[in-house]
Amino acid sequence: NAGVMQNPRHLVRRRGQEARLRCSPMKGHSHVYWYRQLPEEGLKFMVYLQKENIIDESGMPKERFSAEFPKEGPSILRIQQVVRGDSAAYFCASSSVGPSVIYEQYFGPGTRLTVT
């Protein structure tokens, strides 16, 4: 299966711990997007990355959240000192081209973060 992979699928953290969410894009895709989704809500954009570059992080909180997409390996969304309000589903999507007339994205299955 060459689809977008995310792990872990479920992550439980206590308040104050760190959460690390991983995303491997589809083969051949070099553009990665991270989204957050709360129940009964749509997708909230967080950050857009290309290999070794953060292109747009306007949707990501300035504190405690960071993202990277290294030359080798998966993209990682890191949340430090988690709080209960961070509990949500986090989705990664990848695309083969950058912004163009077509914005098709392919999503992973998501990581469900629960902060206790």
Binding stretches for another protein (CB under 8 A): 4, 6, 33, 35, 40-43, 45, 48, 55-56, 59, 91, 93, 98-99, 101-110
Q: Measured from the CB atom, is 63 or 104 closer to another protein? A: 104
Q: Measured from the CB atom, is 49 or 79 closer to another protein? A: 49
Q: Min. distance of Cβ 107 from another protein in angstroms? A: 4
Bridging pattern class, strands 10-13 and 111-115: parallel
* Percent of the chain as helix, strand, coil, to the nearest 5: 5, 50, 50
Q: Measured from the CB atom, is 48 or 69 closer to another protein? A: 48
CA distances for 70 relative to 7, 23, 89, 114, 115, angstroms: 17, 11, 23, 26, 27
